Chains A and B, each alone.
Chain A
């Protein structure tokens, strides 16, 4: 699909309707159907506005990152309070949390606690629905490899499955390659890797005081 110059798209996420948030909180049985409806609504907003590239609004994700725990085996959501018990250098950890570019206090962090396998694809199934729901070009978003390998490794919890962060990162690279290969086969026009902590990794992450993230 040929894109015009100055093609317009969203980054990825769209505000979730209140009824979707409530359904998720109450774990309603028809959650999947409501997610489908919310996705169609997000698509319609973008089409009506005249966007050239359509995203699914990430209505099925709690955020761009934590959702991996619901799709992958071996990844568990943990609160920051739970994590503190596993960190050796607590002062450095808290310093890192302050520098962290997400509301660390507000979210649970996915942590690798076992061998990672794919229970449900991170994006491929959602992308298939998006492709079938619009005639325009589509954008699919995935958490990037730096985000995935930086913040999910906590030595005391992860080292049984992966001796090093690098070994775990290799596994995430494999998983992302498989997703990208399938998205390419589907003819997805744009695949975007989200790297919100890249600045912190590159510019501050060289410091060895970071025991986590």
Chain B
């Protein structure tokens, strides 16, 4: 389990991040891995990186409370699903982010999609137009959160 710690040891400057996801190739959630992050948290907590980008836009991620294991770290909160056509409501994103901020702190939460918008070149899960709308929803939510 020490591979990532050996990679980052002694190198200062960038925010170092680990992104853990569980499948980004189908629009049907049922065929992707499910299960919360609870079992992973003890391992993540021992990684000497600054930021964890985790997918919390769909119910398959489990309860958000699990991130309390990452106190002191930054959380890249996945709050839009890159695999769906429906654009998330900024108000819902705000609620989700406040919930995370209550656990980790206002200055510890960043916003991102669950995963990439184009993970596999030939199997895009999204169009640029929908992806752009989802990004705008994230920005709209961030503006509300900062006021």
Using a CB–CB distance below 8 Å, which chain A residues touch chain B? 3-17, 21, 24, 45-46, 48-52, 57-58, 61-64, 101-103, 106-107, 139, 141, 144-146, 149, 169, 172-173, 176-177, 180-181, 183-185, 187-196, 198-200, 202-203
- Cα distance A196–B24 in the bound complex, in angstroms: 9
Chain B residues touching A, majority SS: mixed
Q: Which residues of A contact B32 (CB under 8 A)?
A: 101
Given known contacts A180-B8, A183-B14, A62 and B121 CB-to-CB distance under 8 angstroms:
yes
Question: Closest 5 interchain pairs by CB?
Answer: A13-B116, A184-B13, A49-B135, A50-B139, A145-B3
Q: Which residues of B contact A181 (CB under 8 A)?
A: 11
- Cα distance A149–B7 in the bound complex, in angstroms: 13
- Cα distance A177–B40 in the bound complex, in angstroms: 24
Is there an interface contact between B16 and A16, defined as CB atoms closer than 8 Å?
A: no
Is there an interface contact between B11 and A12, defined as CB atoms closer than 8 Å?
A: no
- Cα distance A169–B6 in the bound complex, in angstroms: 11
Q: Which residues of B contact A146 (CB under 8 A)?
A: 3-4
CB closest chain-A residue, reference B115: A11
Is there an interface contact between A14 and B142, defined as CB atoms closer than 8 Å?
A: no
Is there an interface contact between B40 and A191, defined as CB atoms closer than 8 Å?
A: no
List 13 A–B pairs whose Cβ atoms lie within 8 Å, in order of A's numbering: A9-B76, A10-B117, A11-B19, A15-B126, A45-B131, A62-B122, A103-B120, A139-B17, A146-B3, A196-B22, A198-B20, A198-B43, A199-B20
At the interface, yes or no: B136 with Cβ under 8 Å from chain A? yes
Q: Which residues of A contact B112 (CB under 8 A)?
A: 8-11
Is there an interface contact between B6 and A173, defined as CB atoms closer than 8 Å?
A: yes
Q: Which residues of A contact B131 (CB under 8 A)?
A: 14-15, 45
Is there an interface contact between B124 and A10, defined as CB atoms closer than 8 Å?
A: no
Is there an interface contact between B7 and A8, defined as CB atoms closer than 8 Å?
A: no
Residue-by-residue, is B112-134 near A (CB-CB < 8 Å gives 1, otherwise 0)? 11111111111110111001100
Q: In the complex, what's the smallest C-beta–C-beta distance from A6 to chain B, in angstroms?
A: 4
CB closest chain-B residue, reference A176: B7
Q: Which residues of A contact B118 (CB under 8 A)?
A: 13-16, 57-58
Is there an interface contact between B120 and A190, defined as CB atoms closer than 8 Å?
A: no
Size of B's binding interface in residues, CB under 8 A: 66
Q: Which residues of A contact B128 (CB under 8 A)?
A: 14-15, 17, 45
A-B contact count (CB 8 A): 205
Q: In the complex, what's the smallest C-beta–C-beta distance from A44 to chain B, in angstroms?
A: 10
CB closest chain-A residue, reference B125: A15
Contact of B11 among A58, A180, A192 (CB under 8 A): A180
Question: Could you list 16 further interchain pairs (A-B, Cβ under 8 angstroms) beyond the known A4-B142, A184-B12?
Answer: A6-B110, A6-B141, A11-B78, A11-B116, A15-B131, A45-B132, A58-B116, A63-B120, A101-B21, A106-B123, A145-B4, A173-B3, A190-B14, A191-B16, A193-B7, A202-B39
At the interface, yes or no: B67 with Cβ under 8 Å from chain A? no
Is there an interface contact between B18 and A195, defined as CB atoms closer than 8 Å?
A: yes
Q: Which residues of B contact A149 (CB under 8 A)?
A: 3
At the interface, yes or no: B27 with Cβ under 8 Å from chain A? no
Is there an interface contact between B22 and A190, defined as CB atoms closer than 8 Å?
A: no
- Cα distance A15–B39 in the bound complex, in angstroms: 32
Residue from A4, A141, A194 whose CB has the most chain B CB atoms within 10 Å:
A194
